[in-house]
Chain A
Amino acid sequence: MSASPEPLVFAVPKGRILDEALPIIEAAGIVPEPDFGDEGSRKLKFATNLPHVSLIRVRAFDVATFVAFGAAHIGIAGNDVLMEFDYADIYAPLDLGIGKCRLSIAQETKAGDTLDLDRLSHVRIATKYPHITSKWFAERGIQAECVKLNGAMELAPSLGLSPRIVDLVSTGSTLRANGLKEVQTLVEISSRLIVNRTALKVRSAEIGGWIEKFRSAVGASQNAA
């Protein structure tokens, strides 16, 4: 199956997740060209040991977009990204167990340790995740006005942009360094292997084969740990 002449594009996120993902990708039998691990490389598309398989290295949110439109067939994305976009054409058949963190609400330490929502009809939140955030608050009967930021959310409360933020938290050290405190977890996050729905249907044996290879690779790495 893997000898299929049809090109297969695998989208992986830049940055933090990549270091954790690379051993799994290699254990599944895809060895990227040496440039791939070099964050300084200007290349965006990389060859692998398999002539028909190429890797693209893009922003985490863009992995989901490439896969949803079928421009990439397989990818790695956190469930934060999947929930934010809620694309109908992405399936997440495998939890890779990497990139673990949580999506949380944080506020200034001086605002107290708890998120008190009882009297609120409206909140203003700075976040990269307006969809998840407004949905979470709406379920609690509160209208969330989200200020969309692409980074440095931690600045928002101290500069008066919004009293609270919703962001990914792993150790909490960035929050502490900026005088913020995590007060509520919205959802636990980990990275998933994602596939394009159409690719999974029309190339079912091949894509199914890759899911199995990744499943074994994840099993092996978790047993080793």
Chain B
Amino acid sequence: MSDTSKTLLPEGLRDLLPPEAAVEAEVIHTLTQSFGANGYALVKPPLAEFEDTLLAGVGQVLRDRIFRMPDPVSHRSLGFRADVTTQVARIATTRLASQPRPLRLMYAGQVLRVRGDQLEPERQFTQAGIELIGAETGAADAEVILATTEALEAVGVKNLTVDLALPTLVPAILKGHGVDANDRLRTALAHKDVAELKAAGGAAGELLCALVAASGEFATARERIGKLNLPADAKAEWDALSAVGDAVRAAAPNLGLTVDAVESRGFEYHTGITFSIFAKGIQREIGRGGRYRLQHSEDRFEHATGATLVVDNLLSAVPAAKELKRLWVPSDTPRATVRKWQADGWTLVAGLKAGETAANEARRLDCTHYLERGEAVQVRN
């Protein structure tokens, strides 16, 4: 086996080395602490489960995205999760079905998907998120948005923009105008291609174009869309979104807030307001979420709102950790001394052989200081 055959990883998978791996761990810690302070309790579903439970309910949208393998033990098909939300949904409707509502759960973990795309080639990434289950109010939607943006701020991600959307709005409009959604219309909507929308939108074409044009900064969009002549169902949905936007705006006046009235991509299982989170300086979307329905049984469901952050996408915006105080100590240093320095906030790197030259070893192993006669001496380069 040649050396390169040992280094090559499969497409979309990679090693995270120091210091990036530590930054990621720190980010997850801060996010879960911040979510926890808002009453969200950590759950940890497994990496793989039976394919049919993984794909049940809201999980159906993952059908084309999951890795599968036959389980040699049960002879059933296993699926690796491509999203943790659907697992939390399963937990909420089974083991925690009798817990009092609203139920606040959070998670952080790795997910796999069968393929990436040119813009996001990764096939494994880290998700961290929250689910607020059993509440139907706009206040729940606003809480999830705010808890998520506050967690991002705690991590040090700045200049956030939350883009609100309503995937149920366009279907309500199409229904109101008796227009069938076809592939061409869906593509036109996805690309906000106004020329195509006008051509493919039929009776709803003009209104859909007006919605695209009116999308943008929240206050302006609110005013413009408020003036449009929406079908009754669509109007009610829009008013609900406006109320959530107002609540978020009031609570976080400095947060960027926009509206994309025709967005629906990636929100396949959502039944109400949704949102995407962006930050200045990060090209990719860093998080998304929204309102969906949890199915308990054929005729029983409950409302939930969730948010998922793609931890990999926000690492580049996390401020560099402050310089570590890294102290090299000789091999004969008593453990009590080691612990004393550690208690003072130092990272200790112990020598393993007697007679090593402290200054050289410290420099070679990337330490900032070495221990000499009970003092920390700075390493000179």
Decide if B98 is an interface residue (CB 8 Å cutoff): no
Interface-located stretch among A50-58, A113-121, A157-165, A201-209: A201-209
Interface-located stretch among B32-40, B62-70, B76-84, B280-288: B280-288
A59-74 contacts to B (CB < 8 Å):
68-70
The CA of A94 and the CA of B187, in the complex, are separated in Å by: 15
Contacts of A104 in B (CB 8 A): none
Decide if A109 is an interface residue (CB 8 Å cutoff): no
Decide if B217 is an interface residue (CB 8 Å cutoff): yes
CB pair B195 A198 closer than 8 Å: no
CB pair A204 B119 closer than 8 Å: no
Knowing A87-B119, A88-B265, A95-B195 are in contact, say whether A201-B283 is a contact too (CB < 8 A).
Answer: no
Decide if A8 is an interface residue (CB 8 Å cutoff): no
| Contact among A68, A192, A198 for B193, CB-based, below 8 A | A192
Contacts of A190 in B (CB 8 A): 195
CB pair A69 B265 closer than 8 Å: no
**CB proximity of A5 to chain B, nearest CB, Å:** 13
Decide if B191 is an interface residue (CB 8 Å cutoff): yes
**CB proximity of A98 to chain B, nearest CB, Å:** 12
CB pair B283 A69 closer than 8 Å: yes
CB pair B192 A201 closer than 8 Å: no
Decide if A12 is an interface residue (CB 8 Å cutoff): no
**CB proximity of B4 to chain A, nearest CB, Å:** 28
Decide if A82 is an interface residue (CB 8 Å cutoff): yes
Decide if A91 is an interface residue (CB 8 Å cutoff): yes
**CB proximity of B295 to chain A, nearest CB, Å:** 28
| Contact among A70, A79, A202 for B256, CB-based, below 8 A | A202
The CA of A192 and the CA of B213, in the complex, are separated in Å by: 15
The CA of A203 and the CA of B283, in the complex, are separated in Å by: 12
Return the chain B residue nearest A196 by Cβ.
B283
Return the chain B residue nearest A209 by Cβ.
B216
Return the chain A residue nearest B285 by Cβ.
A198
Contacts of A83 in B (CB 8 A): 187
| Contact among A69, A82, A93 for B119, CB-based, below 8 A | A69
Decide if A156 is an interface residue (CB 8 Å cutoff): no
**CB proximity of B201 to chain A, nearest CB, Å:** 14
**CB proximity of B314 to chain A, nearest CB, Å:** 13
Contacts of A217 in B (CB 8 A): none
| Contact among A70, A91, A205, A208 for B192, CB-based, below 8 A | A91
Knowing A201-B276, A201-B278 are in contact, say whether A93-B192 is a contact too (CB < 8 A).
Answer: yes
Interface string of A90-112 (1 = CB under 8 A from B): 11111100000000000000000
Decide if B169 is an interface residue (CB 8 Å cutoff): no
Contacts of B276 in A (CB 8 A): 201
Contacts of A93 in B (CB 8 A): 192-194, 212-213
| Contact among B193, B278, B283 for A92, CB-based, below 8 A | B193
**CB proximity of B161 to chain A, nearest CB, Å:** 5
CB pair A70 B283 closer than 8 Å: yes
Contacts of B196 in A (CB 8 A): 79, 92
Decide if B163 is an interface residue (CB 8 Å cutoff): yes
| Contact among A69, A94, A208 for B217, CB-based, below 8 A | A208
CB pair B285 A204 closer than 8 Å: no
**CB proximity of B289 to chain A, nearest CB, Å:** 15
Decide if A145 is an interface residue (CB 8 Å cutoff): no
Contacts of A90 in B (CB 8 A): 191
Decide if A89 is an interface residue (CB 8 Å cutoff): yes
Decide if B190 is an interface residue (CB 8 Å cutoff): yes
The CA of A178 and the CA of B274, in the complex, are separated in Å by: 53
The CA of A88 and the CA of B282, in the complex, are separated in Å by: 16
CB pair B192 A92 closer than 8 Å: yes
CB pair A68 B119 closer than 8 Å: yes
User: Which of the listed residues B159, B161, B279 has the most CB atoms from chain A within 10 Å of its own CB?
Assistant: B161
Knowing A92-B194, A192-B193 are in contact, say whether A198-B265 is a contact too (CB < 8 A).
Answer: no
CB pair A201 B161 closer than 8 Å: yes
B154-207 contacts to A (CB < 8 Å):
159, 161, 163, 187, 190-196
A185-204 contacts to B (CB < 8 Å):
190, 192, 198, 201-204
Binding site for A on B (CB under 8 A): 117-119, 159, 161, 163, 187, 190-196, 212-213, 216-217, 256, 258, 260, 265, 276, 278-280, 282-285
A-B contact pairs, 30 of them (CB 8 A): A68-B119, A69-B119, A69-B283, A70-B283, A79-B193, A79-B196, A82-B191, A83-B187, A88-B117, A88-B190, A91-B192, A91-B193, A92-B191, A92-B193, A92-B196, A93-B213, A94-B194, A95-B195, A190-B195, A192-B193, A192-B195, A198-B284, A201-B163, A201-B256, A201-B258, A202-B159, A204-B161, A204-B216, A205-B216, A208-B216
Query: Which 6 residue pairs are nearest across A and B when measured between Cβ atoms?
Result: A95-B195, A70-B283, A91-B192, A92-B193, A208-B216, A201-B278
Q: A91-B192, A92-B195 are in contact. List 14 more A-B contacts (CB 8 A).
A: A68-B118, A68-B119, A69-B283, A88-B265, A91-B193, A92-B191, A95-B195, A190-B195, A192-B195, A198-B282, A202-B256, A202-B278, A205-B216, A208-B216
